[in-house]
Amino acid sequence: MPRRRIGFWYRFAAVICKPPLVVLLKRDWRGMENIPAEGGFITAVNHNSHIDPLAYAHFQYNTGRVPRFLAKSGLFNKGFVGAAMRGTGQIPVYRESTDALSAFRAAIDAVERGECVAFYPEGTLTRDPDGWPMTAKTGAARVALQTKCPVIPVAQWGANELLPPYAKKPRLFPRKTSRVLAGPPVDLSRFYDREMTPELLKEATEAIMAAVTRLLEEVRGEKAPETPYDPRTERLEQRRRTHAQRNGRNGRQDRTRGERAAVREAREEGLGT
């Protein structure tokens, strides 16, 4: 399958975005040889800054294989930004609607046309306190198993130092380095031609994220936690703590009410002071 031409809109976006990226970020890019020269494929990328899609797109644009991102559908309706999103072939994600599965169908179609679809398997910015990848959603694995296309794991670090997660202002000085490392394809062949159960998708997703995490360990020169941060577990734990605190407050209030009632009774009986 031949590669798709980059096209006017992607080149136009590059003209606008590349100069500030070059000024703001030094580059330490490795593994470009692992990006397939031809045919459709998926990249699975960790997500730790609102600007890392630009930093990562800069890396992959320079390989000659531009990524098609899955992005919130609302971005496609915002004037120039919407025109650029549509023109560059990004894929809208309609969350919590009857069109929610259309993004996956579009991703499959793009891969089968010979394009690259970039997935952030975590689905959002990592909430791991130290910036490591979280547990992931199964969308990338689902598309990969249905198309049997190569899945290229990619780790990135540095854009998050320029703009930390959920920060409103960038940290311009000292100048940061965008480190991007693409690895060889993840071997998912053991999952092919099997019933696509939730358990199978979960196992394939874990294999993809393990490859991304190993690359990030290499980029950072550190060891990742043994168990990935799980936002669902954290939400359940937060609810438990909130419930315990509420019960504790109610218990203290009940004890206080009881103590006040005892004092009133003692005073009424002439026993209080």
Which of 47-51, 161-165, 229-233 bottoms out in mean pLDDT, i.e. has the lowest?
A: 229-233
Q: Which residues pair with 27 in a beta bridge?
A: 178
The C-alpha atoms of residue 53 and residue 17 are separated, in whole angstroms, by 11
* Pairing mode, strands 91-93 and 151-157: unpaired
Mean pLDDT of the chain: 90
Which of 126-135, 144-153, 231-240, 250-259 bottoms out in mean pLDDT, i.e. has the lowest?
A: 250-259
User: How does pLDDT run across 68-105, given as a tens digit for each residue?
Assistant: 999 888 889 889 889 999 999 999 988 765 566 788 99
The band of 239, judged by pLDDT with boundaries at 50, 70 and 90, is: confident
Q: Are 88 and 7 in contact (CB under 8 A)?
A: yes
pLDDT computed for residue 4 by the predictor: 57
User: How does pLDDT run across 148-161, given as a tens digit for each residue?
Assistant: 999 999 999 999 99
Q: Are 212 and 44 in contact (CB under 8 A)?
A: yes
Q: Are 191 and 203 in contact (CB under 8 A)?
A: yes
- Mean of pLDDT values over 134-138: 96
The C-alpha atoms of residue 264 and residue 94 are separated, in whole angstroms, by 61
- Whether pLDDT at 129 is above 90: yes
Dihedral (Cα; 120, 123, 129, 131), 10-degree rounding? 10
